[in-house]
Structure 1
Amino acid sequence: MASDAASNAPSDARGLGAAVGDSIADLGTMIVELIAGLGDFTLFFGQTLAWLFRRVPSRQLVVTSLYQIGVRSLPVVALTGTFIGMVLAVQSYNQFERFGMENRLGVMINLSMYRELGPVLAATMLAGRVGSAIAAEIGTMRVTEQIDALASMGASPIQHLVVPRLLACFLMIPALTLMAIFMGVAGGAFYCVHVFGVDPYFYFANAQESTGVWDLFYGVTKSVFFGVAIAVISCYRGFHSAAGAEGVGRAATIAFVQAFVVILALDLMLSISLDSLYQLIWPGEVAIG
């Protein structure tokens, strides 16, 4: 019995060592693949920017992308903004009323919509609707070898497929964000005034006094970066789609997830940067109003 235990001990040790070694090897492989993927994405983004400034894409392609990304997304963005404004009113009214500050509800709703909820939620909705559609469309073209056929004819797939969509997202997502902000502000004001009975004069006077052009610039600046991120990530995932229907569906899903994570990370970095910029331009002042 003792000899059996002694003979099993080295094999157990070797098994544990092999498991640890495999785990380290898997971790190393994952890190290498992550770095390689980031490098490939950076190269793709660089090529897109190069084609963007090298040659103006076809007007028809740009107009089509503007319609698909902007006009067709308008109803869902407007509806989302309206309900978000109303939800803000419902969730905040009791707390504000407790301190006799219900007339200042407009300040909180407007600032939230201008700076955070308007840009972030509009971008999230568009990452799901637009980003997934772009990835699926380009992924289908990759699977059916349409991209290879385009390249074989001497045309750049990036110029014809990526640049128009990038321009459309760059232009339309800030515009859609403005629509989401407007509808959120209007929805919150409607609910506060007509449901909770808040005095409209004080509501709008306080809201106007405490929000300004900087707050709108704050949100629109974020939306520009969000739009570029959605376009580039979705196109990249479509270009690298695996074969088959499953590969296209996976590309669309990954495009949305990665775009959503990048939106949140950009939101944090841009908030810090814009607040620092405000303090640099107007030192000593609070970046509200």
Structure 2
Amino acid sequence: MLKLLSAIGQYFLLLGKVIQKPQKRQVFFKLLMREINDLGVNSFGLTLFTSIFVGAVIAIQMYNNFRNSSIPIPAPFIGYATKVVLILEFAPTIISVILAGKVGSYITSSIGTMRVTEQIDALDIMGVNSANFLILPKILASVIFNPLLIAISMVFGIWGGHLAGIATGNWSRADYISGIQMYMPPFYIWYAFLKTAVFAFLIATIPAFFGYKVSGGSLEVGRASTQAVVWTIVAIIIANLVLTQMFLS
């Protein structure tokens, strides 16, 4: 327990060094563009593929649940239920968990490799704020681009449910579209993107912390990457519970 509290304290101390004004804006902007490409653009294909197929699965499950219900439920509710589930939970939470595995391991390994090869020490000797230089671009890239990935996930997840209806013939296109067009509180969308921003921050900072604090060699970098992914997923799940209790209870 004391080890965990100590790690949390070191995490916030590192954030204090990270969240400072960049020393050279032009260099920082180049780093930010590179991180947007590495962390965001390269995750587009995985997000697209996962969203389409999971959207289809959710729609099929909704159809089976409604069909087996003792209370007759109109067919358009398949589209509505699929939309709500994707926006409230699947897109912001599950996609963030997937990105925690893909992006988190990359962040930890890249920073950890710089640590064990003494590149970070060299930056410190030159008077560069290494935490700010290496981690802040990753945080901003994640917070900027992850909401776009989540929006794409919502759209293609709903489209995946539409494709499932065409493939199975269990519901008509008109019924599904009518369900999508049914009223949903706009606050649900704001809530989804609020969660996304919090998760994006966790996805960038926790792996960066493990990479920045690693010591040893390549074996320790691999272990740190595994630990970073596990703790990032745990943090996302806990944050999801807290945010849901705060805003939807």
Question: Normalising by structure 1, what TM-score?
Answer: 0.80
After superposition, give the CA deviation of every residue in 1:143-165 in whole Å (9 maximum; x if it has no partner): 00000001111111112100100
Whether the 8 Å contact between 1:51 and 1:163 is mirrored in structure 2 is: no
**1:168 alignment partner in structure 2:** 141
Cα distance between partner residues in 2 of 1:173 and 1:86: 22
What is the identity, as a one-letter code, of the residue corresponding to 1:258?
W
**2:63 alignment partner in structure 1:** 93
Cα distance between partner residues in 2 of 1:49 and 1:160: 10
Q: Which one has more relative contact order, counting CA pairs under 8 Å at least 6 apart?
A: 2
Worse-superposed segment, 265-274 or 110-119: 265-274
Quick one: which of 67, 71, 90 aligns to 2:41? 71
Deviation at 1:242, TM superposition (A): 2.5
Quick one: which of 18, 21, 33 aligns to 1:48? 18
Question: RMSD of the alignment, in Å?
Answer: 1.7
Quick one: which of 170, 177, 193 aligns to 1:220? 193
Whether the 8 Å contact between 2:52 and 2:159 is mirrored in structure 1 is: yes
**In structure 2, do the counterparts of structure 1 residues 112 and 55 end up closer, same or farther at CA, with 3 Å as the change threshold?**
farther
Residue aligned with 2:177, SS: helix
Cα distance between partner residues in 1 of 2:68 and 2:4: 51
Cα distance between partner residues in 2 of 1:72 and 1:213: 30
Residue aligned with 2:182, SS: helix
User: Residues 94-109 of structure 1: matches in 2 within 5 Å?
Assistant: 94-99=64-69, 100-101=72-73, 102-109=75-82
Percent of matched pairs sharing the same residue: 30
Deviation at 1:32, TM superposition (A): 2.2
What is the identity, as a one-letter code, of the residue corresponding to 2:58?
L
Say whether residues 1:138 and 2:108 are aligned partners: no
What is the identity, as a one-letter code, of the residue corresponding to 2:227?
I
Residue aligned with 1:242, SS: coil
What is the identity, as a one-letter code, of the residue corresponding to 1:46?
G
Cα distance between partner residues in 1 of 2:57 and 2:172: 19
**1:127 alignment partner in structure 2:** 100
Whether the 8 Å contact between 1:51 and 1:158 is mirrored in structure 2 is: no
**1:179 alignment partner in structure 2:** 152
Deviation at 1:50, TM superposition (A): 3.1
What is the identity, as a one-letter code, of the residue corresponding to 2:186?
V
Whether the 8 Å contact between 2:76 and 2:178 is mirrored in structure 1 is: no
Cα distance between partner residues in 2 of 1:146 and 1:48: 17
What is the identity, as a one-letter code, of the residue corresponding to 2:77?
R
User: Residues 227-238 of structure 1: matches in 2 within 5 Å?
Assistant: 227-238=200-211
Cα distance between partner residues in 2 of 1:156 and 1:269: 33
Cα distance between partner residues in 2 of 1:103 and 1:196: 14
What is the identity, as a one-letter code, of the residue corresponding to 1:45?
L
After superposition, give the CA deviation of every residue in 1:175-197 in whole Å (9 maximum; x if it has no partner): 11111111111101221244234
Residue aligned with 2:20, SS: helix
Cα distance between partner residues in 2 of 1:262 and 1:98: 36
Deviation at 1:199, TM superposition (A): 2.5
Cα distance between partner residues in 2 of 1:66 and 1:227: 12
Aligned length: 245
After superposition, give the CA deviation of every residue in 1:19-74 in whole Å (9 maximum; x if it has no partner): xxxxxxxxxxxx2222211111111122222347x875611100000000111000
Runs of 4+ in 1 over 4 A off after TM superposition: 54-57
After superposition, give the CA deviation of every residue in 1:241-263 in whole Å (9 maximum; x if it has no partner): 12111100011101100000000
Gaps of 5+ in 2: none
Deviation at 1:91, TM superposition (A): 2.0
Task: Point out the structure with max Rg over C-alpha.
Answer: 1
**2:91 alignment partner in structure 1:** 118
Residue aligned with 1:50, SS: coil
**1:84 alignment partner in structure 2:** 54
Gaps of 5+ in 1: 1-30, 277-289
Cα distance between partner residues in 1 of 2:41 and 2:12: 30
Say whether residues 1:268 and 2:225 are aligned partners: no
